[in-house]
Amino acid sequence: MSVPLNQEVDSDDCLKEYKYVFQRDLLRGKVAFVTGGGSGIGFRIVEILMRHGCDTAIASRRLDRVQTAAKKLEQATGRKCLAIKADVRNAAEVEQAVDDILRRYGRIDILVNSAAGNFLCDAENLSYNAFKTVIEIDTIGTFNTSKAVYQKYFKKNGGNIINITATLAYRGDALQVHAGSAKAAIDAMTRHLAVEWGPDGVRVNNIAPGPIKGTEGMRRLGGKSPVAEMMYSSIPLKRGGQKCEIAEAVVYLSSDASSYVTGTVHIVDGGSWLTAFNDFSMRKQFLQSKM
């Protein structure tokens, strides 16, 4: 039986208690930049990095969201968190964000690309702009931040890029052509960048989560409905994932424990993609029942 070590919290709040898997000071002195760090999986990633000694910067479109998150994170961990308003689709805003982080901390060691957009929609009814929007946030956003951090810091100093992708494209998930295509492109980008930037000491890896409980992503894909429960019971490990299980994979990829690992995709999904239900007409019925 796979039993999670920590008791999760569904909301965007810090864990009440944290049991360490890794050494507490594993990332002491390091600085991480996490896009989409104000909510969901990104928020927990930031918290767990900070609990391992990291100072952080978080960016998203809503300044109030990242400011509130930064306060909670600083209080719970005693580390620093800089809140920045930036839309990852906008290269100028991303460059400004990187300049602000370097001015504040003088370094960046870890970049986590967690910002993304998603919803359920079949391809026929997906507007051209809807497809483009998700590609712009996920794929182009990931390129924008990676390039800005590389040019301004990683090229000279090395560093670690970790992209949060998904398993959607592996079996062509119904109602997910936009997010699946966007994340598959990031998987490809990871390998290209690992090859080009490896000689500068930059490692580039991905984590592909399965269905993670207590997240906006899951609320959009089924929430707490019977369909979600059915989805969880079909997973080989028989449960949905926890945000902190994704965060711990990020700690591994951020640390020297993975010093010879680059260009990879780490699937953290309890085996979900192997057995997940993927019938187009039944998924479409589910979507219609939500409308």
Surface-to-core class of residue 68, CB atoms within 10 Å of its CB (0-12 exposed, 13-18 middle, 19+ buried): middle
**DSSP output for 262-281:** -S-EEEESTTHHHH----HH
Chain residues 218-257 in contact with ligand HXC, contact rule CB under 6 A: 220-221
Q: Which of 8, 74, 122, 216 binds ligand NAP (CB under 6 A)?
A: 216
Among 15, 116, 177, 186, binds ligand NAP (CB under 6 A): 116
Terminal Cα distance for the chain, rounded: 37
Cβ proximity to ligand HXC, 51 vs 283, nearer residue: 283
Tokens, residue 269: 């999904």
Binding mask of the shown chain, residues 163 to 202, with x at each position contacting ligand HXC by CB under 6 A:
---x-x----------x-----------------------
Is the Cβ of residue 22 or residue 131 nearer to ligand HXC in the bound state? Answer: 131
Spatial CB neighbours of 82, under 8 Å, sequence gap ≥ 6: 56, 57, 58, 70, 100, 101, 104, 105
With CB under 5 to 8 Å by kind, the binding choice for 87 among ligand NAP, ligand HXC, none is: ligand NAP
Residue 81's H or E segment, with its range, is strand 81-85
Q: Other C-beta atoms within 10 Å of 49: how many?
A: 30
Q: In this chain, which stretch among 111-119, 143-151, 152-160, 252-260 interacts with ligand NAP, using CB under 6 A?
A: 111-119
Can you tell me which residue has the tokens 């969901």?
40
Q: Is 267 in the site for ligand HXC (CB under 6 A)?
A: no
Closest to 114 measured CA to CA, from 221, 206, 204, 34: 34
Question: Considering only 42-50, 76-84, 97-105, 212-220, which stretch makes contact with ligand HXC by CB under 6 A?
Answer: 212-220
Look at residues 41, 77, 87, 39 and name the one whose alpha carbon lies nearest to residue 56.
77
Minimum Å distance from CB 180 to ligand HXC?
Answer: 8
Interacting partner of 62 out of ligand NAP, ligand HXC, none (Cβ under 5 to 8 A depending on kind): ligand NAP
Q: Is 214 in the site for ligand NAP (CB under 6 A)?
A: no
Q: Report, in Å, the least distance between residue 61 CB and ligand NAP.
A: 3
Beta carbons of 40 and 15 less than 8 angstroms apart: no
Instruction: Report d(CA 207, CA 164) in Å as an integer.
Output: 5
In the complex, the smallest distance separating the C-beta of residue 289 from ligand HXC, rounded to whole angstroms, is 15
Q: Least distance in Å: CB of 5 to ligand NAP?
A: 19
- Residues of this chain that bind ligand HXC (CB under 6 A): 116-119, 121, 127, 129-130, 133-134, 166, 168, 179, 211, 216-217, 220-221
